[in-house]
Structure 1
Amino acid sequence: MNTTIASFLSVDTFAHTFADRWATTLATYGARRVEIVGFLVVQTLAFWVPAGIYIALPWIAPQFSERHKIQPAPKQPTAADIRHCAWIVIRNNAMSTALTAGLALLAGDPADEANKLLGLRIEAKLPTLAEFARDFVLCCAGREILFYYSHRLLHQPRFYRTIHKTHHKFLAPVALAAQYAHPVEHLLANILPIGLPPLLLHSHILTYWPFMAFILVETATVHSGYDFFDNAAKMHDLHHEKFNLNYGAFGLMDYVHGTNKLKRTKRVD
């Protein structure tokens, strides 16, 4: 009993400490600065760090890498390909950051009554656990739906040749290639599916950041080319190889539409 009480008190103390630090951070730096800096921190920690680890695995742990890599060595991108990919991803990240900053400036002070229903909630009051769980699940569902339909639209011949073909340059993808895309695709298939659900739900920013982090780690993982997370990467790796299946992120919409099975159709080049 004493251990249980001590554990509860420890969690309760941590929650109060975090709430106090969060309120102090908002009061010190302002909601919009916190929003933009937080976006950059999440983008770095949840995408660039895991992507860098995945790409470095052949040098860090060569035997482990060889054992789990899906595609054979001759199909892997060259060092020059990866450097080029990194520059495109930096450009797309700058685009995402500029859009986040622009929307933040347009939204104005979230403390003003007129702005309380616009965009994310950025306030000292923390979301409840129930609200966090609800919005997190709904955001994941919204992202799955938006990504599936935008991705499948981009596979239509007129859009594939001019827009989506850029992303499919990597037939054997690496983690950074998750955001290697034409600017139009980056907006439609990467930014909107992640950003729109929490905006529509008017979610707390402390719900949005973990959701965004989860999606970024997920997309880096499924593009990593490694199969050590219960075949998580194999589905999307197969999409890059065959082009006409596994359009969604989690497989739910592919199951609904029957696009989780390979169909014999002519590939668009």
Structure 2
Amino acid sequence: MQLEGCISSFWAGNSFKMRPKFDMLVRITIMTVKVYVQFFIFTLPMLASIFLIRASAPSDDDWQLRWEAFLSLANNNLTIVFGVIPSVVSITGYWIVGALFHLLDVTGWLCEYKVQPETNHPPPSLKLKKALRSVLFNQLVIGLLTGICSFEFLRLTNNMVLSSDDIRVLPTIGILLKRLAAFAFCREIANYYCHRLLHHRLFYKRFHKQHHEWTAPVALMTVCCHPFEHFFNNILPTLVGPGLFQSHPLINAAWFLLVTLRPVFTHSGYHLPFMPSPEFHDFHHMVINQNFGNVGVLDAIHGTDTKWRNSPSFERHFTFFNLMPARKILKLSKEGKLSTKLTI
């Protein structure tokens, strides 16, 4: 944010005709860089876990042998490996992290990090129970069926280019990161236009309004939505990258886990240290007609973030690396009492 402001102010005194377009290019470039830096930070726990698991193995090929043993146990059934496992990993991560955030909601711990203070302590029980029924149906029926059907579709159209030998070899960290970055790019484009279409008057009341009943979202309601919305807006954009790149099933599982956990954090209602800021999407729940994307690049291009950029939420939209809440960091910075902000 500071870099973007400095560049904008530098060009403010010039009368170049291309300056507005240049400012837009600068904003989008900086936003993209920040998004991928935050994306890398968000994947660090997973990468650290992979390194620790590999380091704890008794031999270099131990996990390779375990993966081959798992494939044999699954009888080399690719429908299970490609169609079921990613969904199981996604669902497991959703409920573990969602339950931890629900514990915060119930106990009031870390309430100083709330995006919308004094909300959902605890969430309304009847409303939450209704949301959880929707979540379970979407995950156990829509999610699993879509995962299986999408794999079968790719197989029937001969779009599965991975051989059985390719599947049996564990992917490297480098390939994992490249694929995840490409998947994120594809999902951002697909999700923006799918989400914005759901806000059209022909679709909003019928399909998308259910999700917006939560003007102050909580983690466990992240995929509380109409089944069609879950398929069209949550699952299909997520499948674009894996479908285009025909990646290893473990890369797909890692992608489904990340693309599940990040929305859980952005719907949690908590702006926590070291985690991506939820301010962008939380503002969307408050005002509905702003911030349709995941990270905001296409919103900047289409101008669907103008109200947000003039709001206090935009000023708090950063990832910070100390234990001071975002509101306090911003307040002390404006008062000149905080010389250095460890933020992105």
Name the residue aligned to 1:16.
61
What do residues 169-219 of structure 1 show as CA deviations (whole Å, max 9, x unaligned)? 111111122201111211111000111211111111111111111111100
Moved over 3 A (4+): 9-15, 34-37, 72-77, 102-109, 118-122
Question: Shift in Å at residue 79 of structure 1?
Answer: 0.9
- Matching of residue 41 in structure 1 with residue 88 in structure 2: yes
What letter matches 1:79 in structure 2? S
Residue of 180, 191, 197 corresponding to 1:153:
197
**Structure 2 partner of 1:57:** 104
Q: CA deviation at 1:130?
A: 3.4
Match of 2:148 among 96, 101, 126: 101
CA distance in 2, matches of 1:238, 1:80: 24
Corresponding position of 1:267: none
Query: Which of 276, 281, 288 is matched with 1:236 structurally?
Result: 281
What residue is the counterpart of 1:212 in the other structure?
A: 256
27-36 or 179-188: bigger deviation: 27-36
Give the counterpart letter for 1:80 in structure 2.
L
Question: Which of 288, 297, 301 pairs up with 1:252?
Answer: 297
CA distance in 1, matches of 2:80, 2:247: 18
Go from structure 1 to structure 2 and tell me whether the alpha carbon gap of 1:257 and 1:54 turns closer, same or farther (over 3 Å shift). Answer: same
1:68 touches 1:228 (CA, 8 Å); kept in 2? Answer: yes
Match of 2:171 in 1: 127
TM-score (norm 2): 0.65
* Bigger radius of gyration among the two: 2
Q: Is the 8 A contact 1:117 1:202 kept in 2?
A: yes
1:131, distance to aligned residue in structure 2 (A): 2.6
What letter corresponds to residue 257 of structure 1 in structure 2?
H
1:193-204 equivalent positions in 2, closer than 5 A: 193-204=237-248
In the alignment of these two chains, the number of paired residues is 250
Give the residue type in structure 2 aligned to 1:34. V
**Structure 1 alignment gaps of length 5 or more:** 1-6, 264-269
Residue type of the partner of 1:81? Answer: K
Q: What's 1:266 paired with?
A: none
Matching of residue 92 in structure 1 with residue 138 in structure 2: yes
**TM-score, normalised relative to structure 1:** 0.82
Percent of aligned pairs sharing the same letter: 28
User: How far apart are residue 74 of structure 1 and its match?
Assistant: 5.5
Q: CA deviation at 1:15?
A: 5.0
Per-residue deviation, residues 218-269 of structure 1 (Å, max 9, x unmatched): 0000001111146611111110001121111122222222322218xxxxxx
The offset of 1:32, in angstroms, is 2.6
Kept after mapping to 2: 8 A contact 1:175/1:220: yes
CA distance in 2, matches of 1:124, 1:22: 7
Q: 2:233 aligned with 1:189, yes or no? A: yes
Query: Greater CA deviation, 223-232 or 153-162?
Result: 223-232
- Aligned-residue CA RMSD in angstroms? 2.9
Contact 1:120 1:198 in 2 (8 A): no
Residue 108 (structure 1) shift? 5.8
1:119–1:56 Cα change, 3 Å = farther
Classify the secondary structure of the residue corresponding to 1:123.
Answer: helix
1:90 aligned partner, one-letter code: L
Alpha carbons of 1:186 and 1:18: their partners in 2 closer, same or farther (altered >3 Å)?
Answer: same
Greater helix percent: which structure? 1
- What is the Cα deviation at residue 125 of structure 1? 1.7
Q: Give 3-state SS (helix, strand or coil) of 1:157's partner.
A: coil
**SS of alignment partner, residue 225 of structure 1:** coil
Kindly tell me: are residues 74 and 117 of structure 1, through their superposed partners in 2, closer, same or farther at Cα, counting changes over 3 Å? closer
Q: Does the CA contact (< 8 Å) of 1:120 and 1:204 recur in 2?
A: no
1:82: how far off? Answer: 0.8
1:90, 1:206 → 2: CA distance? 24
